[in-house]
Structure 1
């Protein structure tokens, strides 16, 4: 935030005295933007320190906590609550197949994956929309679409009806994912961001875990259709509460709203904001560039691409492990559908422990990098903990795979807990790296989600055949080798060369932005 007082100079050039206040503010504002370029945190500058230079300048009053960075918003809690319903019907996929006459196991697995493919596509345009129209409206509209088509999927009579409704409900549900990264960057600064990000992202990562816990018992006691209707009902209640409790967190949108409100009370004043001091192109080409930004980020920024690949592998492995639970604990340990759903709590417990451990590690690293008030922090520091996280991920996978069906069922559950601890550490570290290292955090976060959701959707499609060929033991071992073979080189490259790679991405993105302005 621009909390510094306006610069005062004892000797002002005579030509400057004849310049308009708006011209002076424009020059000062550009100086503030240039000064911010050297800082690791990119907080929106609303012009608060320039407010006394012109009464017509509308700013966010930081003394009144109007800047989103100065307050904790209930919006985060509501958005997080909307991210956990996607896989609740996963344990009942065989019941869906029987009811809809689906005989191909790949088509059956696709009914879970299609929701994740929608999660990959939705943020590509929803995240840029949230950087134009704000986080709140995107969340509300997305939730309405999710509720509508989740209810429709519950009434589906054919595979085609079910697939279309699942895909469209996934598009709507992805709105909460699309805005989540931006929300964290809107409200919390670098020092508080690890804890905030850990809490905020527990919804998306615990969704695949808590969903089956509820869905398993629901399918066994009621019907698979209720695994779609109950999330729709819950999201409706949360959405209605959101209309009253959610507040906008995107600072430029808040400033635009304040300008419109102020214009109603001062209709004759020539009011403006710092947003009017820089050019903001419009037109179809510019709008296309905004929607294409997440994909362009992924293509032209090598640092973001490398981070996305590692995160996607981890996320895909999580979904493959989820696929094995029905065979391991159902066929080998004879657990019922409801008990299998409860077995997923082992992964959920690991994710919670991993989140707490990662937050502590991130806070310690940030404190180390800022001793004596000298800021040495670089976003690549977030990746240090991935070494421990990757080790736990691989160790947990080996323990789970080679003990499944050969020991007491508690042993593979402990292995899955250790695996989840490490996986959560890696995911949270990479997500924080993305929020800290890129100019448009919502679009960067959406870009990160593209490969993540595609991998999570594709992996279960070949998972059953993989484990049929290799068995659970060597099939899971292959996943462990995949994490080692991809994760270790990528993290090393990002930590050593990440700053230079991000500069390459910045240059490419600036060129893309300039093309969009023409």
Structure 2
């Protein structure tokens, strides 16, 4: 049985102590930096040959990857981010055929088949994001995709409403893995200057998914069976998994360090090798995992800046899903469009999302370039959200009060404006959250979860809202509420964000969630 090394007799211990001291000092100095990337102590390697670090020269650290590899991983994550929201709405145009075939007449239960996917999509990231900060981004992403594939495939063979609801719920759980890890992947790979463009690509993938879904679903419901709206996403997931096997690379530095340490120990079993992860105080493993798992919930409950932004964006995200539900009534009954043409009408939101991505990506880069010349504040990311908040409300007003009264192009133009403002707001808020919190995957998971919960619930009461107020005043009410939430929340966080985040940190310390 090996005896513990005595600190005073071990030269390795003294070198390790020096590394620990320097590492602690470096962490303290880095706390004030806006880029919250994990520090692996690479520049401390010369102090102790037993310290295992990631070599930037060998491109082991994701920040030192080639641009091609960075974009490869980013686009793969974007493809996953597109696929699950796409699946959430490709099913929607087929609902009448589905309910007729399985013998269900309650329209609320029909809407629930769409909503249950989104409810799972909202709950699962609260647990998947922290798991990615323990076991890595890749394992969570790919296991989630396999889960998604299996239950999408199963959905196409269901014969009862209960079977379908269960399969769609679990496919939503698997599909939520990509939104759960996207914030972490962006922070792992991209610095502050490059993050805006990459965030725009991922954000637009999430926005286009629920918009293009009904376009495909509408034609499938006309030309084939509704079951293909389940099987086609499963096929796409299988192809994506095959591509990922050869092209995806893990980006989370602690996991990469652990893997390199394991390889180094196999090659040099006699050496007392270690990483900076060994220098941090390690509590009970079970307690740490539980703490990590509940981190997104604690962020959401205890950090006022994050909570206010999540509530605002979740509301307008729910509104987007609610407007998608109104298209069948507005353009089907009101303008006589077929199911397939209604799907084409929905491309107006896709066009707006692309416009919003192009403009916002450039605007975020320009604001960062100007701000980086002085003292950078992550709150400057929110500057781009102000015009977006106005476009969201303005687009809704145009859509609601022009429907049935004018040519169908006018309400579609309102949807283009709404979607452009929506994408603008989302990208600015997402980038602010990634820049502002130490664990970006968990922080973005808080945003993702709340928005999907709203999106799952809103369509359930949408028809009653429009029956009571009409499409004009129903949509008008949503426009007023979105403006009423954005007007105080965005300026408040822009001016007082650092103070609110300090309050959040104090709250977490108070309740023992120092993270």
Change (3 A) 1:494 1:76: same
Give CA deviations for 1:207-227 in whole Å, capped at 9, x if unaligned.
Answer: 110111111111111111100
Partners of 2:188 and 2:252 within 8 A in 1: yes
Distance across 1 between alignment mates of 2:247 and 2:90: 26
Change (3 A) 1:254 1:283: closer
Distance across 2 between alignment mates of 1:51 and 1:285: 31
Give CA deviations for 1:199-245 in whole Å, capped at 9, x if unaligned.
Answer: 02222211110111111111111111100100001101101211221
Partners of 1:90 and 1:112 within 8 A in 2: yes
Give CA deviations for 1:462-516 in whole Å, capped at 9, x if unaligned.
Answer: 1111111111111111111011111111112111211101011122234555678
Distance across 2 between alignment mates of 1:160 and 1:219: 21
Distance across 1 between alignment mates of 2:235 and 2:263: 35
Q: Which residue of 1 aligns with 2:253?
A: 251
Q: Which residue of 2 aligns with 1:418?
A: 417
Q: Which runs of 5+ in 2 are unaligned?
A: 1-10
Q: TM-score, with normalisation over the residues of structure 1?
A: 0.94
Distance across 2 between alignment mates of 1:249 and 1:81: 17
For these two proteins, the number of residue pairs brought into alignment is 497
Change (3 A) 1:53 1:112: same
Distance across 1 between alignment mates of 2:252 and 2:351: 33
Distance across 2 between alignment mates of 1:82 and 1:32: 36
Q: Which residue of 2 aligns with 1:9?
A: none
User: Which runs of structure 2 are paired with 1:256-405 in the superposition (5 Å)?
Assistant: 256-371=258-373, 374=374, 376-405=375-404
Distance across 2 between alignment mates of 1:515 and 1:64: 35
Of residues 99, 102, 105, the one that matches 1:103 is: 105
Give CA deviations for 1:99-156 in whole Å, capped at 9, x if unaligned.
Answer: 1122111111111011000011110110000000000000111011101111111110
Distance across 2 between alignment mates of 1:512 and 1:46: 29
Give CA deviations for 1:145-173 in whole Å, capped at 9, x if unaligned.
Answer: 10111111111000000000000000000
Of residues 9, 24, 43, the one that matches 1:30 is: 24
Aligned-residue Cα RMSD (Å) equals 1.5
The DSSP-based 3-state class of the residue aligned with 1:308 is helix
Q: Which residue of 1 aligns with 2:147?
A: 145
1:82 corresponds to 2:80: yes
Q: Which residue of 1 aligns with 2:472?
A: 473
Distance across 2 between alignment mates of 1:403 and 1:100: 37
Q: Which residue of 2 aligns with 1:487?
A: 486
Offset at residue 248 of structure 1 (A):
0.1
Distance across 2 between alignment mates of 1:283 and 1:256: 16
Q: Which residue of 1 aligns with 2:43?
A: 49
Partners of 1:314 and 1:427 within 8 A in 2: no
Distance across 2 between alignment mates of 1:79 and 1:156: 29
The DSSP-based 3-state class of the residue aligned with 1:315 is helix
Give CA deviations for 1:427-481 in whole Å, capped at 9, x if unaligned.
Answer: 1111111101111100001111121111111111011111111111111111110
Distance across 1 between alignment mates of 2:384 and 2:417: 15
Partners of 2:203 and 2:426 within 8 A in 1: no
The DSSP-based 3-state class of the residue aligned with 1:34 is helix
Q: Which residue of 1 aligns with 2:499?
A: 500
Q: Which residue of 1 aligns with 2:8?
A: none
Offset at residue 51 of structure 1 (A):
1.1
Moved over 4 A (4+): 511-516
Change (3 A) 1:18 1:355: closer
Q: Which residue of 2 aligns with 1:12?
A: none
Q: Which runs of 5+ in 1 are unaligned?
A: 1-16
Q: Which residue of 1 aligns with 2:34?
A: 40
Partners of 1:346 and 1:413 within 8 A in 2: yes
**Comparing 315-324 and 505-514, the one that deviates more:** 505-514
Change (3 A) 1:264 1:283: closer
Offset at residue 76 of structure 1 (A):
2.2
User: Which runs of structure 2 are paired with 1:57-136 in the superposition (5 Å)?
Assistant: 57-71=51-65, 72=70, 74-84=72-82, 85-86=86-87, 87-136=89-138
Partners of 1:289 and 1:513 within 8 A in 2: no
Partners of 2:81 and 2:202 within 8 A in 1: no
Distance across 1 between alignment mates of 2:511 and 2:441: 17
